[in-house]
């Protein structure tokens, strides 16, 4: 499905991503881990074509993604949605309009200028917000929502594109543990229920272990681990993070494991009721 071969990105003398090979044969939820500067964001940005590769190729379902130009490149960018740490919503715009922005690639400039959307799109946007438990917030300005709610709006915007792949760059790094868990559960659901491939850069080991089927460890631009959560032992983690003997799992760990399901459900219901 997704084939990445010898993908490389150099910024001057600095090689951010160094001859990376990744094969994804069927829909998966993949976590990418590694310390800051390992090349995780650059890798996702090349997959989405926000950044051009220096060399190497990406194929997706027979298409050479790295060679796409103009409208073909934009079509790929809507098939391959991106979610960011800082949500990237329009803060003063209402939630439903932010979600409708996910259809921007297929709308005319005039319709965009006057903020005109087909009613079918509006209904779909509301249905997606409802699925994520935040439909009640649809008329509010995005900036009025909590971080966790804003990230779910960003997920809704991504789903509006009906993407085959969802790329998430540190989607929970700015959230408290409880909201982090809600957002990871949403990403897991859109993988399991919709069959979409999710590739998420994650800054904590336990999140990758808990939610992903496969974990890719990057160090200095290279893939140094590619396996299951079970294979990701403390020794392997120490190697990925390049840490010395003082390395402790706690240093990359949040406490989200300790929150039980009942609590999560209570929080979601309380948030939806606001
Ligand atoms: N636009 C850029 N210009 C120059 N160097 C960059 C740019 N983006 C990233 N880098 C460098 O590439 C390396 C990998 O960065 P990045 O992909 O952001 O890593 P990560 O997401 O794992 O923290 C770092 O050394 C970073 O400084
Ligand atoms: Mg990054």
- The CATH number given to whatever domain includes residue 117 is 3.40.50.300
Indicate which residue's Cα is closest to atom 16 of ligand 1: 39
Nearest-atom number in ligand 1 for the CA of 36 is: 23
Residue pair 184/173 in contact (Cβ under 8 Å)? The answer is no
Q: Can you say whether the dihedral through the CA atoms of 48, 52, 54, 57 is positive or negative?
A: positive
**Does residue 262 surpass a pLDDT of 90?**
no
Ligand 1 contact, 42 CB (< 6 A): yes
**Higher local confidence (pLDDT), 218 or 101:** 218
Nearest-atom number in ligand 1 for the CA of 43 is: 17
Ligand 1 contact, 14 CB (< 6 A): yes
Number of Cβ atoms within 10 Å of the Cβ of 213: 14
Number of Cβ atoms within 10 Å of the Cβ of 244: 7
Nearest-atom number in ligand 1 for the CA of 35 is: 22
> How many domains, in total, are found in the chain?
1
Domain contains 92 = yes
Cβ within 8 Å of residue 11, ≥6 positions away: none
d(CA 227, CA 216): 7
Query: Residue 101: its pLDDT value, please?
Result: 85
Query: Residue 203: its pLDDT value, please?
Result: 86
Q: Can you say whether the dihedral through the CA atoms of 194, 147, 267, 270 is positive or negative?
A: negative
Domain contains 201 = yes
pTM of this structure:
0.88
107 backbone dihedrals φ, ψ, rounded to 5°: -110, 155
* Residue to substitute in 10, 12, 14, 222 for testing ligand 1 pocket (most ligand atoms within 8 angstroms of CB): 14
Which of 45, 55, 68 minimizes the C-alpha distance to 5?
A: 55
- Give per-residue pLDDT as tens, 173-208: 999 999 999 999 999 999 999 999 999 999 888 999
Q: CB burial class (10 A; 0-12, 13-18, 19+) of residue 61? A: exposed
Residue pair 194/128 in contact (Cβ under 8 Å)? The answer is no
Q: How far apart are the first and last CA of the chain?
A: 41
Ligand 1 contact, 38 CB (< 6 A): yes
Query: Residue 15: its pLDDT value, please?
Result: 97
Residue pair 176/259 in contact (Cβ under 8 Å)? The answer is no
- Ligand closest to 35 (CA) is 1
- Give per-residue pLDDT as tens, 68-122: 999 999 999 999 999 999 999 999 999 999 999 877 666 556 566 666 778 888 9
Query: Residue 108: its pLDDT value, please?
Result: 59
Domain contains 1 = no
Q: What angle do CA 36, 39, 42 make, to 5 degrees?
A: 120
- Full domain range(s) for residue 168: 26-52+62-273
């Amino acid at each position: 499905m997704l084939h990445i071969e010898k993908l490389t990105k150099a910024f001057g003398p600095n090689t951010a991503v160094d001859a990376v090979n990744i094969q994804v044969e069927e829909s998966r939820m993949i976590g990418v881990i590694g310390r800051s500067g390992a090349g995780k964001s650059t890798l996702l940005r090349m997959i989405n074509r926000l950044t051009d590769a220096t060399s190497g190729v990406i194929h997706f379902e027979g298409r050479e993604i790295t060679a796409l130009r103009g409208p073909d490149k934009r079509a790929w960018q809507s098939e391959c949605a991106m979610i960011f740490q800082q949500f990237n919503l329009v803060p003063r715009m209402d939630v439903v309009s932010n979600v409708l922005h996910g259809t921007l690639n297929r709308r005319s400039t005039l319709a965009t200028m006057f903020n005109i959307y087909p009613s079918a799109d509006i209904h779909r946007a509301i249905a997606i917000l409802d699925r994520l438990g935040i439909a009640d917030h649809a008329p509010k300005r995005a900036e009025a929502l909590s971080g966790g709610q804003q990230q779910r709006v960003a997920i809704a915007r991504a789903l509006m594109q009906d993407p085959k792949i969802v790329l998430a760059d540190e989607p929970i790094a700015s959230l408290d543990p409880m909201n982090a868990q809600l957002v990871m559960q949403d990403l897991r659901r859109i993988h399991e229920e919709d069959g979409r491939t999710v590739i998420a850069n994650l800054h904590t080991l336990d999140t990758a272990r808990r939610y992903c089927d496969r974990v890719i460890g990057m160090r200095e631009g290279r893939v140094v681990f590619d396996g299951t959560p079970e294979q990701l032992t403390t020794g392997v983690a120490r190697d990925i993070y390049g840490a010395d003997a003082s390395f402790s799992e706690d240093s990359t760990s949040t406490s989200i494991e300790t929150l039980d399901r009942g609590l999560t459900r209570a929080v979601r219901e309380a948030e939806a009721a606001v």
